[in-house]
Amino acid sequence: GGLADAREMAAVTAKALGCRPSEVVVASTGVIGTRLPMDRVRAGIAAAAARLDRNGGADAARAILTTDTWPKEARVTFPVGGRTVSIGAMAKGAGMIAPNMATMLAFFTTDAAVEARLLGAALREAVGESLNRVTVDGDTSTNDMALLMASGAGSVPLIKEPGRDYDSFRAALTEAARRIAEMIVRDGEGATRMAVVRVEGAETAADADRVARVVAESPLVKTALHGGDPNWGRILAAVGRSGVAVDVGRVDIFLGDVWVAEGGCARDYDEEAAHRAMIADPVHIRVRLGQGQASGWIWTSDFSRGYVDINAHYRS
* Residues designated as active site: 103
As a 3-state breakdown, the chain gives helix, strand, coil percent values, each rounded to 5, of: 40, 20, 40
Our CA angle for 51, 53, 56, nearest 5°, is 95
DSSP string, 62-109: HHT-SS-SS-EEEEEEEEETTEEEEEEEEEE--SS--SS--S-EEEEE
Distance (Å, whole) CA 164 – CA 53: 33
Q: How far apart are CA 115 and CA 150, in angstroms?
A: 9
The closest alpha carbon to 192, from 160, 225, 170, belongs to: 225
* Position 269, amino acid: Y
Residue 269 to residue 284: CA distance in whole angstroms: 16
Q: What is the strand order of the sheet 265-266 is part of? A: 134-135, 294-301, 194-202, 283-288, 252-255, 258-262, 265-266
CA–CA separation, 25 and 22 (whole Å):
8
